[in-house]
Amino acid sequence: MPTHALRGWLLDEADYHLTPWLKREAQVVGRRPAKVQVRLQRTRWGSCSNSGTVSLNAALMFLEPAVVRYLLVHELCHLIALNHSRKFWSAVARHEPDYEALDRRLTKAWHEIPLWAHPEAR
């Protein structure tokens, strides 16, 4: 199967699974994103824009659920504070007490992604 077909499949699967999961977590955090995007990102697992758009990396599909959930909570907490201030980390800790260990695991997780799923792979 060509790489572009695999990436298309991954994007579809990620959108199907991650978008509803983010929306469920949004109910817990108490903040709703204005929009959700699922993309293959080179350097970020997720992001949140000042317009309230949460972007998720489709490669999250290769990670363990606890780490993915942490990332979802992390991005939703940016709807509370669009920075990494004390207010932001307090919100993250309220919804994910083990966030420090999960953040370390997320940082190291890039090696868990198959080469075909990296945007720069051909």
Q: Scanning the structure block, which residue is given the tokens 């939703």?
A: 76
Domain coordinates in residue numbering, the chain: 3-115
**pLDDT value of position 95:** 97
**pLDDT value of position 103:** 97
**pLDDT value of position 2:** 79
Instruction: Provide DSSP, 64-91.
Output: -HHHHHHHHHHHHHTTT-SSSSHHHHHH
**pLDDT value of position 119:** 72
* CA–CA separation, 65 and 53 (whole Å): 22
**pLDDT value of position 4:** 87
Q: Which fold has domain 3-115?
A: Zincin-like (3.30.2010)
**pLDDT value of position 121:** 57
**pLDDT value of position 63:** 97
**Mean pLDDT in consecutive groups of 10 residues from the start of the chain, 122 residues:** 87 98 97 97 94 98 98 98 97 98 96 85 54
**pLDDT value of position 1:** 56
